[in-house]
Amino acid sequence: MSILFYKRPEYVLKEDGPLAECKRRGGSAQHCSTAAIPPELSFEKVVCNKCLPPCSLQDFLDYLTYVTHDAENLQFYLWMVDYFQRFRNAPTTEKMLAPKWKPNDLRCTSRTADWSERPLFGKREIDLYSEDISNGSTWEDQSEFTDDYTQTLTSLKFSISPVKHHAAAGSVQWHAAPHMQPFRAEVNRIITHYISPGSPRQLNLSHNDRATVLRALEYTTHPSALTLVKRMLDSTLRNQSHPNFVRWAICNGNKEWTTGLQVLAVTNITIGFVIAIILTLSKASRWWRISAALEWWFGITNIIAASHGICILLHKMHSRQYHAWETTNYVIEDDEARLKGLDNNFIQYESTRPKWPVKMEVFGPANNYSGELWVSQHSRKPWYRKLFEKRVPVHEAGLKQMQNRIIMQAEAWALIITIPLTIGFVAIPKGNFY
Q: Are strands 164-165 and 319-321 parallel, antiparallel or unpaired?
A: unpaired
Domain boundaries, the chain: 71-243, 255-321+392-427
3-class state of residue 237 by DSSP? helix
For all residues of the chain together, what is the average pLDDT? 77
Higher-confidence residue: 305 or 107? 305
Higher-confidence residue: 415 or 104? 415
The tens digit of pLDDT for each residue in 74-86 reads 999 999 999 999 9
Higher-confidence residue: 405 or 30? 405
Say which DSSP state 382 is in. -
C-alpha–C-alpha distance, residues 266 and 349, integer Å: 40
pLDDT, mean of residues 318-347? 60
Is residue 320 within a helix (H) or strand (E), and if so which, with residue range? strand 319-321
| pLDDT at residue number 22 | 65
Tally of CB atoms within 10 A around 57: 23
The tens digit of pLDDT for each residue in 224-283 reads 999 999 999 999 999 999 999 999 999 999 999 999 999 999 999 999 999 999 999 998
CB 402 within 8 Å of CB 410: no
Higher-confidence residue: 106 or 212? 212
**In terms of Cα–Cα distance, which of 220, 304, 270 is closest to 6?**
304
Tally of CB atoms within 10 A around 259: 14
DSSP states along 25-68: TTSSHHHHHHTT--GGG-HHHHHTT-S-TTSSHHHHHHHHHHTS
Higher-confidence residue: 146 or 121? 146
C-alpha–C-alpha distance, residues 405 and 178, integer Å: 56
C-alpha–C-alpha distance, residues 136 and 144, integer Å: 20
The tens digit of pLDDT for each residue in 167-203 reads 333 333 333 356 789 999 999 999 999 999 999 999 9
Geometric angle at alpha carbon 18, from 15 and 20, rounded to 5°:
70
C-alpha–C-alpha distance, residues 185 and 172, integer Å: 7
CB 389 within 8 Å of CB 322: yes
What is the rounded end-to-end Cα distance, in angstroms, of the chain?
51
pLDDT > 90: what percent of the chain?
A: 54
The tens digit of pLDDT for each residue in 128-158 reads 222 222 233 334 434 444 433 333 343 454 4
| pLDDT at residue number 265 | 96
CB neighbour list of residue 74: distance below 8 Å, 6 or more residues apart: 47, 60, 61, 64, 237, 241
